[in-house]
Amino acid sequence: MLGFWWRGILGSISQKDVNKVVRESVNSGINYFDTAEVYNEGRSESSLGLAIAGIPRDSILLGTKVSPSNCYKETLIEHCEASLKRLQTDYLDLYMVHWPLHPHAIRHFTNDLRIVENPPEISETMEALQVLNQQGKIRKFGVSNFGRNRLKDLPLKDIAVNQLPYNLLCRAIEYDSLSFCEDNGIGVIGYMGLLQGILADNYPSLNDVPLLQRRTRHFNSKNNIECRHGEEGIENETNIALNGIRHICKETGFSMAAISLKWILANPAVTCVLVGSRNAYKVKENVMAIQTPLCKEIKDELDRISLPVMEKLGNHFDYYESAEYDRTL
Protein backbone atom coordinates (compact mmCIF):
# COMPACT_ATOMS: atom_id res chain seq x y z
CA MET A 1 0.00 0.00 0.00
CA LEU A 2 1.26 3.47 -0.89
CA GLY A 3 0.60 6.44 1.35
CA PHE A 4 1.18 10.11 0.58
CA TRP A 5 3.72 11.89 2.76
CA TRP A 6 3.34 15.65 2.82
CA ARG A 7 6.11 17.75 4.37
CA GLY A 8 6.32 20.64 1.95
CA ILE A 9 9.98 21.39 2.59
CA LEU A 10 11.69 20.60 -0.70
CA GLY A 11 11.42 23.94 -2.44
CA SER A 12 8.36 25.99 -3.29
CA ILE A 13 5.14 24.30 -4.31
CA SER A 14 1.84 26.09 -4.73
CA GLN A 15 -1.40 25.13 -3.00
CA LYS A 16 -2.85 24.52 -6.46
CA ASP A 17 -0.15 21.91 -7.11
CA VAL A 18 -0.76 20.31 -3.71
CA ASN A 19 -4.46 20.05 -4.53
CA LYS A 20 -3.68 18.33 -7.84
CA VAL A 21 -1.31 15.85 -6.20
CA VAL A 22 -3.81 14.94 -3.49
CA ARG A 23 -6.67 14.49 -5.94
CA GLU A 24 -4.56 12.42 -8.30
CA SER A 25 -3.54 10.29 -5.31
CA VAL A 26 -7.16 9.66 -4.36
CA ASN A 27 -8.11 8.93 -7.97
CA SER A 28 -5.23 6.44 -8.14
CA GLY A 29 -6.39 4.52 -5.09
CA ILE A 30 -4.11 6.07 -2.47
CA ASN A 31 -6.15 6.74 0.64
CA TYR A 32 -3.64 7.43 3.43
CA PHE A 33 -2.17 10.91 3.91
CA ASP A 34 0.54 11.52 6.49
CA THR A 35 1.90 14.72 7.99
CA ALA A 36 3.01 16.18 11.36
CA GLU A 37 2.50 19.31 13.40
CA VAL A 38 6.21 20.14 13.21
CA TYR A 39 6.40 20.12 9.39
CA ASN A 40 6.70 23.74 8.32
CA GLU A 41 5.44 24.74 11.77
CA GLY A 42 1.93 23.50 11.07
CA ARG A 43 1.68 24.80 7.51
CA SER A 44 1.93 21.28 6.13
CA GLU A 45 -1.23 20.31 8.03
CA SER A 46 -2.98 23.49 6.90
CA SER A 47 -2.06 22.86 3.27
CA LEU A 48 -3.25 19.27 3.42
CA GLY A 49 -6.48 20.44 5.05
CA LEU A 50 -7.14 22.74 2.11
CA ALA A 51 -6.24 20.02 -0.39
CA ILE A 52 -8.71 17.46 0.97
CA ALA A 53 -11.61 19.92 1.05
CA GLY A 54 -14.47 18.47 -0.98
CA ILE A 55 -13.14 14.91 -0.86
CA PRO A 56 -15.51 12.62 1.07
CA ARG A 57 -13.93 12.26 4.51
CA ASP A 58 -14.74 8.57 4.79
CA SER A 59 -12.80 7.86 1.58
CA ILE A 60 -9.43 8.89 3.02
CA LEU A 61 -7.32 8.21 6.10
CA LEU A 62 -5.51 11.09 7.80
CA GLY A 63 -2.51 10.64 10.05
CA THR A 64 -0.44 13.25 11.83
CA LYS A 65 2.15 13.31 14.60
CA VAL A 66 2.59 15.20 17.85
CA SER A 67 6.08 16.34 18.84
CA PRO A 68 7.57 14.61 21.93
CA SER A 69 7.91 18.00 23.61
CA ASN A 70 4.12 18.36 23.52
CA CYS A 71 3.22 15.05 25.15
CA TYR A 72 2.19 16.16 28.64
CA LYS A 73 -1.47 15.24 28.98
CA GLU A 74 -3.17 18.63 28.68
CA THR A 75 -0.62 19.91 26.17
CA LEU A 76 -1.06 16.88 23.92
CA ILE A 77 -4.84 17.28 23.91
CA GLU A 78 -4.48 20.97 22.99
CA HIS A 79 -2.04 20.16 20.19
CA CYS A 80 -4.28 17.44 18.81
CA GLU A 81 -7.16 19.90 18.67
CA ALA A 82 -4.91 22.42 16.89
CA SER A 83 -3.98 19.78 14.31
CA LEU A 84 -7.65 18.97 13.78
CA LYS A 85 -8.35 22.64 13.16
CA ARG A 86 -5.50 23.00 10.65
CA LEU A 87 -6.55 19.83 8.85
CA GLN A 88 -10.19 21.00 8.87
CA THR A 89 -11.49 17.69 10.16
CA ASP A 90 -13.41 16.48 13.19
CA TYR A 91 -11.25 13.43 13.74
CA LEU A 92 -7.93 11.81 12.88
CA ASP A 93 -7.72 8.24 11.71
CA LEU A 94 -4.23 7.98 13.19
CA TYR A 95 -2.35 10.11 15.72
CA MET A 96 1.27 9.30 16.48
CA VAL A 97 3.95 10.34 18.96
CA HIS A 98 6.67 11.57 16.62
CA TRP A 99 9.76 10.45 18.59
CA PRO A 100 10.46 8.70 21.90
CA LEU A 101 10.10 10.76 25.06
CA HIS A 102 13.62 11.29 26.27
CA PRO A 103 15.82 14.40 26.50
CA HIS A 104 17.94 13.93 23.39
CA ALA A 105 14.88 13.46 21.17
CA ILE A 106 12.96 16.32 22.79
CA ARG A 107 15.75 18.87 22.47
CA HIS A 108 15.30 18.74 18.69
CA PHE A 109 11.77 20.09 19.15
CA THR A 110 12.14 22.73 21.86
CA ASN A 111 14.65 25.02 23.55
CA ASP A 112 12.71 24.90 26.81
CA LEU A 113 15.09 23.17 29.23
CA ARG A 114 12.23 22.53 31.67
CA ILE A 115 10.75 20.14 29.13
CA VAL A 116 14.08 18.70 27.97
CA GLU A 117 15.14 17.90 31.54
CA ASN A 118 11.69 16.71 32.63
CA PRO A 119 10.23 14.85 29.66
CA PRO A 120 6.63 13.66 29.78
CA GLU A 121 6.02 10.20 31.18
CA ILE A 122 4.87 7.75 28.52
CA SER A 123 2.01 6.69 30.82
CA GLU A 124 0.73 10.28 30.84
CA THR A 125 0.95 10.42 27.05
CA MET A 126 -0.94 7.15 26.65
CA GLU A 127 -3.63 8.41 29.02
CA ALA A 128 -4.10 11.54 26.89
CA LEU A 129 -4.34 9.45 23.72
CA GLN A 130 -6.98 7.26 25.36
CA VAL A 131 -9.00 10.36 26.27
CA LEU A 132 -8.84 11.64 22.69
CA ASN A 133 -9.88 8.22 21.44
CA GLN A 134 -12.86 8.11 23.80
CA GLN A 135 -13.88 11.59 22.66
CA GLY A 136 -13.86 10.42 19.04
CA LYS A 137 -11.12 12.84 18.03
CA ILE A 138 -8.70 10.06 17.10
CA ARG A 139 -9.64 6.60 15.91
CA LYS A 140 -6.27 4.91 16.40
CA PHE A 141 -2.99 5.99 17.90
CA GLY A 142 0.57 4.91 17.43
CA VAL A 143 4.20 5.95 17.55
CA SER A 144 7.00 6.87 15.21
CA ASN A 145 10.72 6.07 15.44
CA PHE A 146 10.34 3.80 18.47
CA GLY A 147 12.94 1.03 18.67
CA ARG A 148 12.20 -2.36 20.18
CA ASN A 149 13.31 -1.38 23.69
CA ARG A 150 11.10 1.73 23.63
CA LEU A 151 8.13 -0.27 22.41
CA LYS A 152 8.40 -2.63 25.36
CA ASP A 153 7.37 0.22 27.68
CA LEU A 154 4.05 0.69 25.86
CA PRO A 155 0.62 -0.98 26.09
CA LEU A 156 1.27 -2.89 22.88
CA LYS A 157 -2.35 -3.93 22.33
CA ASP A 158 -3.27 -0.25 21.99
CA ILE A 159 -0.52 0.71 19.53
CA ALA A 160 -1.82 0.55 15.97
CA VAL A 161 1.36 1.47 14.09
CA ASN A 162 5.02 2.35 14.35
CA GLN A 163 6.28 4.67 11.63
CA LEU A 164 9.87 3.74 10.77
CA PRO A 165 12.52 4.63 8.17
CA TYR A 166 12.93 1.82 5.66
CA ASN A 167 14.49 1.51 2.24
CA LEU A 168 17.21 -0.40 0.41
CA LEU A 169 19.95 1.68 2.03
CA CYS A 170 18.29 1.93 5.47
CA ARG A 171 17.51 -1.58 6.68
CA ALA A 172 18.33 -1.39 10.39
CA ILE A 173 14.75 -2.11 11.47
CA GLU A 174 15.24 -5.61 10.07
CA TYR A 175 17.50 -6.50 13.00
CA ASP A 176 14.70 -6.66 15.57
CA SER A 177 12.21 -3.76 15.45
CA LEU A 178 10.34 -4.95 12.37
CA SER A 179 9.85 -8.50 13.66
CA PHE A 180 8.86 -7.19 17.10
CA CYS A 181 6.12 -5.07 15.52
CA GLU A 182 4.93 -7.97 13.40
CA ASP A 183 4.86 -10.36 16.37
CA ASN A 184 2.79 -7.89 18.40
CA GLY A 185 0.29 -6.93 15.72
CA ILE A 186 1.70 -3.43 15.22
CA GLY A 187 1.50 -2.15 11.66
CA VAL A 188 4.61 -0.58 10.15
CA ILE A 189 4.41 2.56 8.05
CA GLY A 190 7.70 2.92 6.20
CA TYR A 191 8.99 6.41 5.52
CA MET A 192 12.01 7.73 3.61
CA GLY A 193 11.28 5.07 0.96
CA LEU A 194 13.32 6.85 -1.72
CA LEU A 195 15.89 8.30 0.71
CA GLN A 196 15.09 11.87 -0.28
CA GLY A 197 15.63 11.26 -3.97
CA ILE A 198 18.82 9.22 -3.73
CA LEU A 199 16.91 6.00 -4.45
CA ALA A 200 15.04 7.73 -7.25
CA ASP A 201 18.46 8.12 -8.92
CA ASN A 202 18.05 11.89 -8.93
CA TYR A 203 21.77 12.49 -8.46
CA PRO A 204 24.63 11.28 -10.72
CA SER A 205 26.93 10.85 -7.71
CA LEU A 206 26.83 11.21 -3.94
CA ASN A 207 28.70 14.51 -4.30
CA ASP A 208 25.72 15.89 -6.22
CA VAL A 209 23.31 15.24 -3.35
CA PRO A 210 22.32 18.55 -1.69
CA LEU A 211 23.83 19.17 1.75
CA LEU A 212 20.53 18.85 3.61
CA GLN A 213 19.94 15.43 2.06
CA ARG A 214 23.55 14.48 2.83
CA ARG A 215 23.18 14.45 6.62
CA THR A 216 22.59 10.74 7.13
CA ARG A 217 25.20 8.29 8.40
CA HIS A 218 25.85 7.17 4.84
CA PHE A 219 27.89 10.37 4.38
CA ASN A 220 31.14 11.58 5.94
CA SER A 221 30.25 14.24 8.50
CA LYS A 222 33.59 16.01 7.93
CA ASN A 223 32.41 17.09 4.48
CA ASN A 224 29.12 18.59 5.60
CA ILE A 225 28.59 21.24 8.25
CA GLU A 226 24.92 20.18 8.40
CA CYS A 227 25.85 16.70 9.70
CA ARG A 228 25.68 16.03 13.42
CA HIS A 229 26.43 12.30 13.64
CA GLY A 230 30.23 12.85 13.71
CA GLU A 231 31.01 9.62 11.81
CA GLU A 232 33.12 8.89 8.74
CA GLY A 233 30.14 7.55 6.85
CA ILE A 234 30.00 4.61 4.45
CA GLU A 235 30.13 6.34 1.09
CA ASN A 236 32.09 3.55 -0.61
CA GLU A 237 29.57 0.87 0.40
CA THR A 238 26.69 3.19 -0.54
CA ASN A 239 28.15 3.84 -3.99
CA ILE A 240 28.69 0.14 -4.62
CA ALA A 241 25.09 -0.62 -3.60
CA LEU A 242 23.70 2.16 -5.82
CA ASN A 243 25.69 0.91 -8.80
CA GLY A 244 24.40 -2.61 -8.16
CA ILE A 245 20.82 -1.33 -8.05
CA ARG A 246 21.41 0.60 -11.29
CA HIS A 247 22.58 -2.61 -12.93
CA ILE A 248 19.36 -4.37 -11.92
CA CYS A 249 17.34 -1.42 -13.23
CA LYS A 250 19.09 -1.72 -16.58
CA GLU A 251 18.42 -5.46 -16.72
CA THR A 252 14.75 -5.22 -15.74
CA GLY A 253 13.77 -1.92 -17.38
CA PHE A 254 12.40 -0.60 -14.07
CA SER A 255 13.39 2.81 -12.77
CA MET A 256 15.33 2.94 -9.50
CA ALA A 257 12.32 4.50 -7.77
CA ALA A 258 10.11 1.64 -8.98
CA ILE A 259 12.62 -1.00 -7.91
CA SER A 260 12.99 0.65 -4.50
CA LEU A 261 9.25 0.83 -3.82
CA LYS A 262 8.65 -2.71 -5.05
CA TRP A 263 11.42 -3.97 -2.77
CA ILE A 264 9.89 -2.33 0.33
CA LEU A 265 6.41 -3.65 -0.39
CA ALA A 266 7.80 -7.14 -0.94
CA ASN A 267 8.29 -7.30 2.83
CA PRO A 268 5.04 -8.64 4.35
CA ALA A 269 5.78 -6.92 7.68
CA VAL A 270 5.41 -3.48 6.04
CA THR A 271 1.83 -2.19 6.03
CA CYS A 272 2.34 0.97 4.00
CA VAL A 273 5.17 2.93 2.41
CA LEU A 274 5.04 6.72 2.32
CA VAL A 275 6.10 8.54 -0.83
CA GLY A 276 6.23 12.28 -1.36
CA SER A 277 5.31 13.43 -4.88
CA ARG A 278 5.75 16.98 -6.12
CA ASN A 279 3.36 16.65 -9.05
CA ALA A 280 0.54 14.48 -10.37
CA TYR A 281 2.82 12.79 -12.90
CA LYS A 282 5.03 11.48 -10.11
CA VAL A 283 1.97 10.13 -8.32
CA LYS A 284 0.99 8.14 -11.42
CA GLU A 285 4.57 6.93 -11.82
CA ASN A 286 4.78 5.71 -8.23
CA VAL A 287 1.41 3.97 -8.42
CA MET A 288 2.41 2.22 -11.63
CA ALA A 289 5.61 1.08 -9.95
CA ILE A 290 3.78 -1.16 -7.51
CA GLN A 291 1.34 -2.74 -9.93
CA THR A 292 3.63 -5.73 -10.47
CA PRO A 293 5.61 -7.23 -7.57
CA LEU A 294 9.28 -8.15 -7.67
CA CYS A 295 10.10 -11.74 -8.45
CA LYS A 296 11.95 -13.58 -5.69
CA GLU A 297 15.24 -13.69 -7.62
CA ILE A 298 15.41 -9.90 -8.00
CA LYS A 299 14.34 -9.36 -4.38
CA ASP A 300 17.09 -11.71 -3.19
CA GLU A 301 19.67 -9.98 -5.38
CA LEU A 302 18.69 -6.56 -4.02
CA ASP A 303 18.98 -7.96 -0.50
CA ARG A 304 22.48 -9.16 -1.29
CA ILE A 305 23.55 -5.89 -2.92
CA SER A 306 22.35 -3.76 -0.02
CA LEU A 307 23.47 -6.06 2.81
CA PRO A 308 26.97 -4.51 3.23
CA VAL A 309 25.32 -1.12 3.84
CA MET A 310 22.97 -2.64 6.39
CA GLU A 311 25.84 -4.38 8.19
CA LYS A 312 28.04 -1.26 8.22
CA LEU A 313 25.30 0.95 9.65
CA GLY A 314 24.27 -1.71 12.20
CA ASN A 315 21.22 -1.99 14.42
CA HIS A 316 20.75 1.74 14.68
CA PHE A 317 17.97 3.40 12.69
CA ASP A 318 18.39 7.01 13.77
CA TYR A 319 20.26 7.83 10.58
CA TYR A 320 21.07 11.38 11.63
CA GLU A 321 22.76 10.60 14.95
CA SER A 322 25.65 8.50 16.18
CA ALA A 323 24.93 5.32 18.12
CA GLU A 324 25.74 7.17 21.34
CA TYR A 325 22.94 9.68 20.76
CA ASP A 326 20.43 7.44 18.99
CA ARG A 327 16.97 8.87 19.71
CA THR A 328 15.15 5.63 18.94
CA LEU A 329 16.70 3.42 21.62
The b-or-e profile of 49-86 (16+ CB within 10 A means b, else e) is bbbbeeeeeeebbbbbbbbbbbbbbebbbebbeebbeb
Phi, psi of 158 (to 5 degrees): -95, -10
The CB density around residue 12, as the number of other CB atoms within 10 Å, is: 6
Instruction: Tell me the residue type at 92.
Output: L
51 vs 73: CA distance, rounded Å: 30
Do residues 184 and 156 lie in contact, with contact meaning Cβ atoms separated by under 8 Å?
yes
Q: Which residues contact 99 (CB under 8 A, 6 or more apart)?
A: 67, 68, 105, 106, 108, 109, 144, 145, 327, 328
The CB density around residue 288, as the number of other CB atoms within 10 Å, is: 12
Q: Tell me whether residue 249 is exposed, middle or buried, using C-beta atoms within 10 angstroms of its C-beta: 0 to 12, 13 to 18, 19 or more.
A: middle
Do residues 94 and 139 lie in contact, with contact meaning Cβ atoms separated by under 8 Å?
yes
Catalytic entry in 32, 39, 166, 191 = 39
192 vs 171: CA distance, rounded Å: 11
72 carries an active-site annotation: no
DSSP state of 295: P
Q: Which residues contact 48 (CB under 8 A, 6 or more apart)?
A: 6, 18, 22, 33, 35, 62, 87
Residues annotated catalytic, as ranges: 39
